[in-house]
Homo-oligomer: A and B are copies of this chain.
């Protein structure tokens, strides 16, 4: 059964990939066209798109008719990545240079803008089943993601960010896109209002579990599997759930050491050698263990997953519903 789900996931991913690579971008100037294609053919898990497809099936719709909406969510996600990479000065994404590095800032700006418009075009292609309500849901998703990113940037300048602030930010920055995906899938699939609400809540909890797991993986993941450098969040001074929870619990010298992490994003305070960096990350990691932050995070991942599964169980039994449950469990046990 689990193997079947894995196979189906790969099939769906390939369908999404095909749809994205055949996106018609007629008449665009060469460089803009190249950059849009570069982004859309860059691979990735296509998780958000697949959530749209499965959510549609879970309420009795088909994956086929939800494909344009799924592509819309994935293109919108990629729009945020292109612009976020500019803001974060990120040099690489999915093992390739980012758009602003490969081309230029201007091209990255325009590529993001164009992708957002192409996302709307794909959503509207869903034809007669598209309603203004769906476009509104999608648009609110874009606004929330932008606001989440703005909060994240604001937090980077502050040393008094609380765990509560963190949840408000992450709910918008990464959570909203996932709950928008699941709700959109329910609507495109012709689900009832109650089913759309249920799938929105499912996405909300799934997004929470996903993000907390991501924070954990940065500290305890396997570098090769995770595709990022372990401890990257610590070295870059990211305000993660782990760090903010530790800061709320620690006092004295421990607290001072944790506060050093907050200043890492200014660069000057960063460890200058690989060895110093390694020791710094190890020191913070052991504080996370000491203050029970790891256990607390794992507990919250489990809690969010349980809640996600509980919401799912209110939907009629179907293979798609089972696959969404499988996906929830897979995501929290993932190593990358």
Residues of A whose CB lies within 8 Å of any CB of B are 27-32, 83, 86-87, 105-107, 109-110, 112-114, 116-118, 120-121, 124, 130-132, 135-136, 139-140, 142-143, 146-147, 149-151, 153-154
Contacts and interface: CB of A to CB of B under 8 A. Distances in A.
Contact of A146 (B87, B114, B140, B143): B114
Q: A-B pairs with the 8 shortest C-beta distances?
A: A32-B150, A117-B142, A29-B150, A120-B139, A87-B106, A114-B146, A117-B143, A29-B151
Contact of A32 (B30, B135, B142, B147): B147
A109 B110 CA distance: 10
A124 B114 contact: no
A121 B112 CA distance: 19
B146 A135 contact: no
Copies of this chain, tallied across the complex: 2
A143 B121 contact: yes
27 contacts: A27-B147, A28-B150, A29-B147, A29-B154, A30-B154, A32-B146, A86-B109, A87-B109, A107-B150, A110-B146, A110-B149, A112-B113, A113-B116, A113-B142, A114-B143, A114-B150, A117-B139, A118-B143, A120-B135, A120-B139, A120-B142, A121-B136, A121-B140, A124-B132, A124-B135, A131-B132, A132-B135
Given A139-B117, A139-B120, A87 B110 contact: yes
Interface of A is mostly: helix
Contacts of A153: 106-107, 110
A131 B87 CA distance: 35
B117 A120 contact: no
Contacts of A154: 29-31
A212 to B, nearest CB: 22
Given A31-B154, A86-B109, A116-B113, A136 B124 contact: yes
Nearest to A27: B147
A114 B140 CA distance: 10
A142 B151 CA distance: 26
Nearest to A30: B154
A266 B147 CA distance: 37
Contacts of A112: 113
Contacts of A32: 146-147, 150
A227 to B, nearest CB: 25
A118 B120 CA distance: 14
Contacts of A109: 83, 86-87, 109
Contact of A114 (B31, B113, B147): B147
Contacts of A136: 121, 124
A78 to B, nearest CB: 13
Contacts of A87: 105-106, 109-110
A232 to B, nearest CB: 20
Contacts of A139: 117, 120-121, 124
A113 B115 CA distance: 11
